[in-house]
Copies of this chain bind each other. A is one copy, B any other.
Amino acid sequence: MKLIGYFRSSAAFRVRIALNLKGITVEHAFRHLRKGEQSTPDYVALNPQKLVPTMVLDSGEVLTQSLAILEYLEETHPEPSILPKDPVGRARVRALALISAADIHPIQNLRVMAYLREKFDQSEEAAFAWSRHWIETGFDAYEASVAKDRRTGAFSHGDQPTIADLCLVPQVFNAGRFKVDMTRYPTLKRIFDTCMKHPAFDAAQPSKQPDAEK
């Protein structure tokens, strides 16, 4: 398999963590999003959304969308599992994952920030405030969802990493770039710290990727 990503992409970061957790070795390729390498015809043929990541299977089949790729990896490489076994628990984990993956990240990714600056003539400061607003709105809900729920353990759900954590950790990295005050989110901070002690998360972080910029 080949994963086409970008060191700073939250979505690619999620998939890298899953691959590490499950011990799956893949070839890594890169598209530099700030240089527009996601818009070349050869890449658009693989990923018409012009987003990363894209996973190319050995069969030649192409998978897109990080959450769909995570579910595929879980179905084809079930151990160790990144979803609980019970349907209600699975729904809880997926809902937590979607706070980051649907209701924060798409609203404040590169292309949206570019629209704010170019079409709405907003300053860098206003675009940063926008990002912080959506991150904080999502994290407020995430913190409320995990702080007092007995199903929360060392990780967002129990004592093993799940898809929820795989989406949370990249979003916390992103929050750091926008100066979000994580002391507002003690449970998220505790889970994040636990995750980052895990080698699968640590090795997947942006600064440790081959395409990382210093």
Hey, which bits of chain A sit against chain B, CB under 8 A? 48-51, 57, 59, 61, 63-65, 67-69, 71-72, 75-76, 87-88, 90-92, 94-95, 98-99, 101-103, 105-107, 111-112, 115-116, 119-120, 122, 126, 129-130, 133, 137-138, 140-141, 144-145
Contact = CB atoms under 8 A, between A and B. Distances in A.
Copy count, this protein chain: 2
Contact of A133 (B61, B98, B115): B115
B49 A99 contact: yes
A49 B143 CA distance: 10
A67 B98 contact: yes
A78 B95 CA distance: 20
Contacts of A99: 49, 65
Residue among A57, A106, A133 facing the most chain B CB atoms (10 A cut-off): A106
